A and B are shown apart, each in its own frame.
Chain A
Amino acid sequence: MSVAVTVAGIQPEEPIRTSEAGPAPKRIVVAYGFWIFLLSDIVMFSALFAAYAVLVRATAGGPAGPALFSQTSVAIETACLLISSYTCGLMTLAITARRRLGTYIGAAVTFVLGAIFLGLEIHEFADMIARGAAPQRSAFLSAFFALVGCHGLHVTMGLLWLAVMMAQVAIKGFAANVLRRLFCFALFWHALDIIWVALFTVVYLMGVRS
């Protein structure tokens, strides 16, 4: 302690180094913690991707990728999720500028596009199950439903989270804790889009060819 005081007394003009600037603001700590969570989520997805890649040929005489996947539906899903990621970014900008109307519009567009994505995915799953390609049919289909379903579950959670956040903005306004949650949501939504990029490439685009 006394050393610090002495040093500070001798060189008062020396710029404060980051390590001496005290604890980081809560905004930074929360964002970093959430980033760690997102990375752990990505690690979990990597295990599902690995399982899928190992089991992709284990169709047990059942239907394989080229017979099941429709490129049109995947293209629409991809477009929905990509544009919703963009509108989520625009929502973040509206929040930065503290504009309520812009925030609501950005959130609404993001929500609708996410819901369209989810609807298409559920429709695709129902269609596959109706054609006898249920998760219990083969190891390939188990891995497929686990991987794509887990992503769909994340999107569902994201939509719920977004709805809750809009209620919080409506009631509490742009309070510090609401802002932190909103920025965490934006990180979550962008990360989901990154996982979808890997997913549509590995599962669908590589799947329709083999």
Chain B
Amino acid sequence: MSATYYPHVPEDAPRSAEAPEADVRSGFIVYGIGLFLAVLLTATSFWVTNTSLIWAPGVPLGLAALAVAQMGVHLVFFLHVTTGPDKTNIVLALAFGLLIVFVVMAGSLWIMTNLHDNMMPSMGAAHADMQQ
């Protein structure tokens, strides 16, 4: 049906000369905010690794939270993944990709930890020998 209205692919309209100026200025601010937040989160990650102020067993979880936050910052400010109507497909594809990433990582760790825990002591020794 749509072919009735638009039988041809719309052209990539070349942008006019004066329009991009506002785009560039706002883009400058967006990348600046992104860089600031990313530097802040990275510096915090390195600080968390080396500080003794934080309860040691909690550090990996803190690092993971900081990393996820920074990946979010990169997605929004550098890759411009937003909730705008033109980004619906991109966000849905991203959500599906994250699902697969979660299944692969959580599934592998779960299964391999379980195997490791259920291994008989003699088998464990054989396994250790095999690794050497």
Contact = CB atoms under 8 A, between A and B. Distances in A.
Interface of A: 1, 3-5, 8, 16, 18-23, 25-28, 32, 35-36, 39-40, 42-43, 46-47, 49-51, 53-54, 58, 60-61, 71, 75, 78-79, 82-83, 85-86, 89-90, 92-93, 96-98, 138-139, 176, 187, 190-191, 193-194, 197-198, 200-202, 205-206, 208-209
A205 B9 contact: no
A46 B101 contact: yes
Nearest to B60: A206
A206 B50 CA distance: 11
Contacts of B74: 85, 190, 193-194, 197
Which 9 A-B pairs rank lowest in CB-CB distance, beginning with the nearest? Answer: A22-B6, A39-B97, A50-B108, A201-B67, A89-B31, A46-B101, A60-B131, A190-B78, A4-B1
Interface in B8-51: 8-12, 15, 17, 20-21, 23-24, 27-28, 31, 34-35, 38-39, 42, 45-46, 48-50
Contacts of B17: 98
Nearest to A92: B27
Contacts of A98: 15, 17, 20
B49 A71 contact: yes
A97 B19 CA distance: 9
B118 to A, nearest CB: 15
- Chain B interface size range: 35 or more
A96 B24 contact: yes
B105 interface: yes
A166 to B, nearest CB: 20
Nearest to B31: A89
Contacts of A39: 93-94, 96-97
A53 B131 contact: no
B108 A51 contact: yes
A97 B1 contact: no
A50 B63 contact: no
Given A46-B104, A194-B74, A209-B49, A86 B67 contact: no
A26 B13 CA distance: 11
Given A26-B12, A96-B24, 17 more contacts: A8-B4, A25-B9, A26-B9, A40-B97, A54-B109, A75-B46, A82-B35, A82-B39, A93-B24, A97-B20, A194-B74, A197-B74, A198-B67, A198-B71, A201-B63, A201-B66, A201-B67
Contact of B11 (A25, A46, A51, A187): A25
Contacts of A82: 35, 38-39, 42
Given A32-B90, A47-B104, A206-B63, A23 B79 contact: no
